[in-house]
Amino acid sequence: MISVLRTHTNLKTPGHEELSLDNLRPGSWINMTAPTRQELEDVARLVAVPLDFLSAALDVEESSRIDFEEMDEDSGYDACILVVINIPKHPESFDFDTIPLGIVITPDTFITVCLEENPILPGPRGGVSGFCTWKRTRFLLQILYKTAGTYLQYINEMNRMSDKIEEALRRSMKNEELFKLMDLEKGMTFFTGSLRSNRVAVDKLVRTLKNPQFDELIKLREEDDDLLEDVIVEYDQAYDMVRVYSDVLGGMMDAFASIISNNLNIVMKFLASVTIIISIPTVVSSFWGMNVGVPFQEHPSGFLWVMLVALGLSGAAAYWLWKKRMF
């Protein structure tokens, strides 16, 4: 699916106008969600960018990076910059994951490519607000800032979920709660790797913004300095938080594994003690079951005496095991 928006340059008419690929104008934003091969080829031809730049974000294993393409008259490519970052997916239950978002910037257009609708880009799920399609650098920084903020939001949400699971596990060790905890730990691992690679990409972007060679594509203006600083601070905070919560969650998993193992040992000790106590009457009665002469054989209360001996030995064994804290 392809949508094209362009911010009105006339301040008296704020907002955005919807365009199509047929009447593409400078300053347009082309948003591609799960595009087909034909759509990718059409956009690549219209804006004169390499096809692999547009398809980079369609690989779910793509890591964050920045790449450049200089103007090439032979191939017909225009100068452009590719920025790939990993953004958090909208979670379903306890399934937190990330997907790549590709951003291609040319002198006239701003292009985004993603496999699915996401909470970062402007759309039905919210996303960046107050953007301007012809302010390419600011739009890029707004997307990066929104990405870091969404990571922070989801990390806090995961922390609240883990607290609820911990309370449930304290009451009852159910496999369902442990599986939820495993899903959260996996999500934290995905977030940690994505934020680390995103932070590296942001560092490279900062160097690019300060390079006059790329002023035609992206240029850091004075009014964008504060936003760039906010982006760096947000990513540092998100990365620090996800590392702390990931360590806490990993420690929690280890602690509950130890508790489960300890509970199993307690149950096994109790069952072993019960088995010993129950086996004593069986052993005693087997002695009096032999086909030879035994004490109390002719005594009218012989059965009662045998039972008393068996119960006495069982009681003594139970007392000794209790003193040894076997149950």
pLDDT at 76: 63
Weakly modelled stretches of the chain, pLDDT under 70 = 9-14, 16, 71-76, 91, 93, 123-129, 173-174, 288-294, 296-299, 302-303, 326-327
**Distances from the Cα of 10 to the Cα of 14, 102, 107, 129, angstroms:** 7, 29, 20, 19
- Classified as helix, coil or strand, 269 is helix
pLDDT at 129: 65
314: which residues sit within 8 A by CB, 6+ positions away? 277, 278, 280, 281
**Distances from the Cα of 314 to the Cα of 80, 194, 239, 252, 282, angstroms:** 86, 63, 61, 41, 10
Ranges of H-type helices in the chain? 37-47, 51-55, 136-171, 175-209, 225-287, 302-323
Q: Are 174 and 260 in contact (CB under 8 A)?
A: no
pLDDT at 50: 84
pLDDT at 270: 83
pLDDT at 272: 83
